[in-house]
Amino acid sequence: MVTLMLELKFDPKKGVYAEETETLERLKKDFFGDIIDKKIYLSPEEVLYLVSFRNAVVLDGNGKEMDFHELSSCFIQNEPRLLIRFNAYRDWRDRGLIIRKYNPSVRGKHSKKTYKKYPSEKLKMEKLKTNAVWHADSMFSIVEDEATGRKIFEDYWFGQYGVYKQNRGIMNKLNFLETVFLSKHFGLNIIDAGTGKKIKYSDVLNHVLKKREYAGQLYDIYEDWRLKGYVVKTGFKFGSHFRIYFPGASPVKKGEWIHSRHVLHVFPKNQKLLISEWSRAVRVAHGVKKTFILGIPEMKEDDYIDFPVDFMAYRRKKGKGVWVRETPKDKPRYLIVSVSEDEHIGGVELASMLKKARESGLHLLLSITDRETSITYYELKQIILPKSKYEYYEIEWFKP
């Protein structure tokens, strides 16, 4: 079967457009471009896709055919990340789905609040009348009182009593987060191992801040979840900062709480992560069947930026017993931001694109192009931790 050629024209000032009758009808039918003055104007990604996969030809002002490289050389002046955007567009279209350039005036399908609310219960615990000896260079403290050490471990899961997953040993070791938290909120006395003198929890935190970048933000997130009844332990084995247990979890309680179901990664607003490293942490969590939660602390209203986003995308809906693709006659579902595995992304940038998605009534999808131009998608959804001033999001691998 011979596919009829699509005829497009290139204008250096106006861009690429179609005006030939048959071409117009075919582009309208498959929802390409925007209709202006009885012509259809196409985005750079649409043009490159049509030339590459839909038998389209683009003619310049002299009637000469322009190839992919000539076109991309023209577009790249205003679209420096053209190929990354084109690859995301191509992947969605190849799946038989509609994808359009982002239009802030179009409202999405998720205009109502669609966040997930997590349960919360205030941590209730008696004041501690005991000491913890702080070993500054090791960044651990040891609870001297054996009975208290066992109680706060078994009843509230603070520290590690004895040897991890072994029923031996009588010391409870508290990491620096637990040491600061228990002193600040429940009166734990801290004794410096080097001097034998009592010190403040702020002294411990200030010492750690000098040794570990973003320790303050880690503590803020730790404190936020702990005060709301959650158990927060290290997520080191899962490539994240914390693993999260819902209220009621105990290291000696058998049953559903014995394994964590969530891991949490703290993403400070001024930090930038390589996309491949960020993606790796999400994949590790999913590989062990845990929900990956991203926490962005300290965001203020004037921190948000107008981050450039790429596309609005549609999926499929059920109609008369079969699945049919959605079109611009429906409301779009997703806001797509296209990135590559070798780019960096920062906390401010991510929070800003999430804010734009919420305001547009769209769910945010990150489209990640790897070095083989394969695409991986991650969907980000907001979660609400009651009375928290921080932003949290669940991140899940997504298949269109």
Q: What's residue 257's pLDDT?
A: 45
Residues 6 or more apart whose CB falls under 8 angstroms from that of 180 comprise 201, 204, 205, 219
Q: Any idea what DSSP says for residue 301?
A: G
Residues 6 or more apart whose CB falls under 8 angstroms from that of 400 comprise 92, 95, 97, 313, 315, 377
pLDDT tens readout for residues 184-230: 999 999 999 999 999 999 999 999 999 998 899 999 999 999 999 99
Collapsing DSSP states into helix, strand and coil, what is residue 333? coil
The mean pLDDT value for 270-274 works out to 86
Q: Any idea what DSSP says for residue 334?
A: E
Q: What's residue 256's pLDDT?
A: 46
Q: Any idea what DSSP says for residue 138?
A: T
| Range scoring the smallest mean pLDDT among 51-65, 79-93, 310-324 | 310-324
**Position 136 pLDDT exceeds 90:** yes
Q: Which fold has domain 123-227?
A: MutS, DNA mismatch repair protein, domain I (3.40.1170)
User: What are the b/e assignments for 66-88, b being 16+ CB within 10 Å?
Assistant: beeeebbebbeeebeebbbbbbb
Query: Distances in Å between the alpha carbon of 15 and those of 28, 87, 329?
Result: 18, 20, 25
The Cα 82–Cα 74 span in angstroms is 11
The Cα 369–Cα 121 span in angstroms is 41
pTM of the model: 0.88
Residues 6 or more apart whose CB falls under 8 angstroms from that of 67 comprise 51
Domain range list for the chain: 6-80, 123-227
Q: Do domains 6-80 and 123-227 have the same CATH topology?
A: yes
- Please measure the distance between the N-terminal and C-terminal CA atoms of the chain and give it in whole angstroms: 29
pLDDT tens readout for residues 145-160: 999 999 999 999 999 9
Cβ distance 309 to 335 under 8 Å? yes
Q: What is the residue-averaged pLDDT of the chain?
A: 90
Does residue 369 or residue 283 have the better pLDDT? 369
Residues 37, 43, 48, 52, CA torsion sign: negative
Characterize the bridge pairing of strands 160-161 and 334-340.
Answer: unpaired
Of residues 141, 138, 166, the one with CA closest to residue 152: 141
Q: What's residue 3's pLDDT?
A: 57
Q: What residues are paired with 384 via a beta bridge?
A: 117
CATH number of 6-80: 3.40.1170.20
Amino acid at 349: E
The Cα 225–Cα 177 span in angstroms is 12
Find the angle CA(168)-CA(170)-CA(172) to the nearest 5 degrees: 115
